[in-house]
Amino acid sequence: MNTVQKKILSLTAIVLFIMVAIWFILTYYNQKMQDQYNDILQRYLQMNEVSASSQQLVTSLNNYIQTPTPSKLSNVEGDRQRLLNAQLQIADLRNNSNHFTLTNYLNLIDSLVDSTNRSIRLLNEKNNEEALNDFTEATRLSKYISEMTLTLLGTELQTYDQFYRGMIMQSVELKKLGVWMLALFTFLLLLFTYWFSLSITRPIQRLTQAARELSRGRFDTHIEIYANDEISFLAKTFDRMRININNLISEMQHKAQLESELQKNKLLLQESQLRSLQSQINPHFLFNTLDTLSKKAYLEGSVETSDLLTSVARLLRYNLKRLDRPVTLYEEVHVLREYIFIQQTRFTERLRFEEEVDEACLYVQIPGLTIQPIIENAVIHAIEPLEEGGMITFRVRDEGPDVIIEIEDEGSGMSEEKISQIMEERFSSQEGDGHSTGIGFGNVINRLRLYYGREDVMAIQSEVGKGTKVILKLPKEREAG
Amino acid sequence: MRKLVIVLLSAICMILLGFTLSSFIHVFHYNLSAPSNMGSANKSGYRLILITQEMDTPFWDKVENGAAKAAAKYGAELEVWGSYGTNQEDFLKNMEIAIASKVDGILVQGLNTDEFNQLATVKAAGNGIPIFTIANDVPIEDSLRRTYIGSDHYKAGQMIGTQLAEDLGHKGKVVLMVSDRQEDFQSKRLDGILNILKFYPDIEPITVIAGDTREKVVTATNEIMNKEPKVAAFVSVTANNASAMVQEIGKRAQLSRFHIYSFDDSPEIKTLLKEKKMSGIIEQSPEMMGELGVQLMVQWLQGETFPLKYEGYYTDIRLLKADELS
């Protein structure tokens, strides 16, 4: 996982690496130069050492000749050894251009040592004059050595001239390189750091922006952050939270809507009940009276009138009792038949009623007085206005999880506009007028919807002049809620 | 705007990168390698030294050239040491250093002085260092030199003498201008001239000893011209006196009246010869001297040429006459 910490660490590592690399390169070259300088100085020092030690040898030899004591002799010996050591070292300094001179130089040293030795020997042999001669020669040779040292140094300078100049130029260039490298890497690092910090702060900024949006109540903006670190994780979680909140809010809104609709419908129901109470001052009295009338008609031999009165009484009773409780479809169909009987008595031949009922579906529970108003509506609109009457077909059939109830008439039908008006309950509440039970079409729709909690419980198929078909789709199992 | 910034930044980046790279290349361009040490390994070639008193004179430049050529050919190492303006002290010091440096062989312009002979006999012979004289000889008895390479000065003197006699028509006074230094070549030349002239009793040679410097030559010329107004010919026996002498004679009288001879063939003298201010000069072969000297030295050191001719190896000489030049 690529974390912010890892990013910071890697940046630090890169910076560190570059710094160390530069440091190494520069130090390496400086060291190399220093070594070269040291070598050169070493050469000069060695040459100078020969010159100095040869002079020293001559001096101590002189002292020894003045007063020949063993300690002075050992001085001479020491100086001679020193000179020979220096000679040994200087032999390694040979190169192409000083080859000849260096050989001469080494031989000169040998000659000096020889002269010294000879001088000491002669002195020991008490041959003072010859010893002095050799001493003079040694002095001269020492002088020549010094001169030749200068010559050698001169040659050295000439030989190394190009090299020295190169070194100076290189050190200047190295300095320049250091400056340029510093500038370049500073620039690159600045850029890189900027880019890098952006890669951390930009997602945070966007997250902040998203949080601000959220706090202002805008829950529908999608939060998307392309990054490969914790910020991205944070953003994802934040987005999920936003979606959850969004869902919860919409659910709440939905519930509130349902609640308000329920309230509205309750009011509607109460109103209609009140109205029915108003219009029917004493339904029981009316019902009892109708019963009495029926019996009386029966006793008087008017069986048809008696049956009609019984039907009216039953319809009335059903109307009174079963309004706010679910009933079975069976009861509804039963009541429907009573109503049709009454209406057939009224319209005689004009009303033709056909029913195709699947008895197996009649156990389904539905709100009371839902089908009768629809039939009544059909009677009002498709039978009453027409002199020749019409046919009303009632079907109940099983269709999978639903029970389908169709009420079809052959009336004048209605326009699309009107259908949508009905479906959207834009009909005034006065539409209950003219109905025997006081319950209108809109009321039925509302109750059905409330009862099943579904919008598609009723559909109307109609065309002007071609009749109307109302289809109720009732689920066998009532959904919860 | 964003694009502009990006372009600008990358441009800066490229510039910096370019400078850094060029600087980098510069640093590595100086491939510093110090002249490599050869360690103490010795080169196998013989170490020879050519010592002269007259560095950077045309004559000795030619000797050096010839010697260098031969040294390269025989794989010897040659170094030329010299002093300027016949500085004897420096010259002798060079000799001493060369001997003390234990070189394999010394080619030296002979100088007939006691110091030189002392060095050559005691030091050089004592250390077993062979000394060849070149161009100027010293008597072998004094110096123990191995051999001499150069012109046959006696023969040169004879050539001048013969020419002189011919030009003068066997009579007249001749001034022989010599240096006060008793150089071997000078005495040989003088011998050569006098040996010829003694066959012509009418020719009277007058030997004038002048100094080394120009002033002394001028003074000596003046004196002899005052003393002997009827001089018909001048001979500059030493090499370097001719131009001063000619100049002085030219101041006093018409040069064409005199026959003037020299043993020197420096460009100055050659110009004088071309202008017919001189009658004749001896031309030597300096390059051949150098070449032959080194060659003989190497061969002798290798034991190929043995024994050496003690009297010396003579290089070509030629008499250049003014009449023949034009």
Asked whether residue A73 is assigned to any structural domain, the reply reads: yes
Q: Which of A101, A144, A163 lies closest to B100 in CB terms?
A: A144
Beta-carbon-side half-sphere exposure of residue B140 (alpha carbons within 13 Å): 11
Q: Do A92 and B101 touch (CB under 8 A)?
A: no
Give the domain range for residue A150: 4-204
Does the pLDDT value for residue A253 go beyond 90?
A: yes
pLDDT in tens, B263-300: 877 788 888 888 888 888 888 888 999 999 999 898 88
Q: Which of A92, A99, A107 lies closest to B100 in CB terms?
A: A107
Token duo for residue A476: 């066998």
Q: What is the number of domains present in chain A?
A: 2
Measure the CA–CA gap between B236 and B234, rounded to whole angstroms: 7
Asked whether residue A300 is assigned to any structural domain, the reply reads: no
Residues of B in contact with A94 (CB under 8 A): 37-41
Q: Which amino acid is at B178?
A: V
Among the ranges given (A139-143, A382-386, B106-110), the one the predictor scored with the smallest mean pLDDT? A382-386
CB A336 within 8 A of CB A372: yes
pLDDT in tens, A353-386: 898 988 888 888 888 888 888 888 888 888 888 8
Q: What is the mean pLDDT of residues B305-309?
A: 76
The answer to whether A191 faces chain B, any CB pair under 8 Å, is yes
Measure the CA–CA gap between A225 and A199, rounded to whole angstroms: 11
Task: Please give the pLDDT value at position A264.
Answer: 93
Asked whether residue A162 is assigned to any structural domain, the reply reads: yes
Asked whether residue A266 is assigned to any structural domain, the reply reads: no
**Mean pLDDT for all residues in chain A:** 84
Does the pLDDT value for residue A27 go beyond 50?
A: yes
Q: What is the DSSP string of B47-70?
A: EEEEEESSTT-HHHHHHHHHHHHH
Does the pLDDT value for residue B41 go beyond 70?
A: no
Asked whether residue A458 is assigned to any structural domain, the reply reads: yes
Q: Which amino acid is at A219?
A: F
Identify the domain boundary among A138, A173, A204: A204
pLDDT in tens, B227-239: 888 888 888 887 6
* Placement of tokens 């419980």 in the chain: A457
Comparing CA positions, the residue from A266, A276, A271 lying closest to residue A435 is: A276
CATH of the domain at A464: 3.30.565.10
* Placement of tokens 């169709």 in the chain: A406
Task: Please give the pLDDT value at position B213.
Answer: 81
The answer to whether A169 faces chain B, any CB pair under 8 Å, is yes
Q: What is the mean pLDDT of residues B153-171?
A: 88
Q: Which of B16, B41, B93 lies closest to A183 in CB terms?
A: B16
pLDDT in tens, A193-249: 888 888 888 888 888 888 888 888 877 778 777 777 777 888 888 888 888 988 999
Query: What percent of chain B lies above the pLDDT cut of 70?
Result: 94
C-alpha B271, offset from chain centre: 19
Measure the CA–CA gap between B235 and B217, rounded to whole angstroms: 13
Task: Please give the pLDDT value at position A381.
Answer: 84
Q: Which of B20, B40, B41 lies closest to A180 in CB terms?
A: B20
Q: Which of B32, B38, B98 lies closest to A163 in CB terms?
A: B32
Confidence of residue A426 (pLDDT cuts 50, 70, 90): low
Q: What is the mean pLDDT of residues B245-266?
A: 84
> For chain B, which domains are there?
47-151+286-316 (3.40.50.2300), 153-284+321-325 (3.40.50.2300)
Task: Please give the pLDDT value at position A429.
Answer: 46
Task: Please give the pLDDT value at position A274.
Answer: 81
Q: Do A170 and B27 touch (CB under 8 A)?
A: yes
* Placement of tokens 């009107």 in the chain: A418
Instruction: Indicate the DSSP class of residue B121.
Output: I
Identify the domain boundary among A161, A188, A204: A204
Asked whether residue A123 is assigned to any structural domain, the reply reads: yes
Closest-CA distance, B82 to chain A, in angstroms, reads 14
pTM score over 0.95 = no
Does the pLDDT value for residue A261 go beyond 90?
A: yes
Confidence of residue A58 (pLDDT cuts 50, 70, 90): very high
Identify the domain boundary among A153, A179, A204: A204
Task: Please give the pLDDT value at position A433.
Answer: 53
Confidence of residue B187 (pLDDT cuts 50, 70, 90): confident
**Mean pLDDT for all residues in chain B:** 84
Task: Please give the pLDDT value at position A258.
Answer: 94
Asked whether residue A333 is assigned to any structural domain, the reply reads: no
Token duo for residue A19: 């710094």
Query: What percent of chain A lies above the pLDDT cut of 90?
Result: 14
Task: Please give the pLDDT value at position A323.
Answer: 64
Residue among B10, B23, B123 with most chain A CBs within 10 A, to mutate? B23
Asked whether residue A461 is assigned to any structural domain, the reply reads: yes
CATH of the domain at A60: 1.20.120.1730
Q: Where are the beta strands (DSSP E) in B152-194?
A: 172-179
Does the pLDDT value for residue A404 go beyond 50?
A: yes
Comparing CA positions, the residue from B160, B255, B156 lying closest to residue B205 is: B160
Closest-CA distance, A3 to chain B, in angstroms, reads 28
Task: Please give the pLDDT value at position A450.
Answer: 82
Look up the ipTM and state it: 0.76
Among the ranges given (A276-290, A322-336, B193-207), the one the predictor scored with the smallest mean pLDDT? A276-290
CB B110 within 8 A of CB B131: no
Residues of B in contact with A170 (CB under 8 A): 27, 30, 32
Residues of A in contact with B9 (CB under 8 A): 191
Task: Please give the pLDDT value at position A54.
Answer: 92
Confidence of residue A126 (pLDDT cuts 50, 70, 90): confident
Measure the CA–CA gap between B237 and B183, rounded to whole angstroms: 11
Is the bond preceding residue B35 a cis peptide, omega within 30 degrees?
A: no
**E strand or H helix that includes residue A147:** helix A128-215
Does the pLDDT value for residue A481 go beyond 60?
A: no
Measure the CA–CA gap between B165 and B197, rounded to whole angstroms: 7
- The CA angle A449-A454-A457, to the nearest 5 degrees, is 70
Q: Do B27 and A92 touch (CB under 8 A)?
A: no
- The CA angle A310-A334-A262, to the nearest 5 degrees, is 110
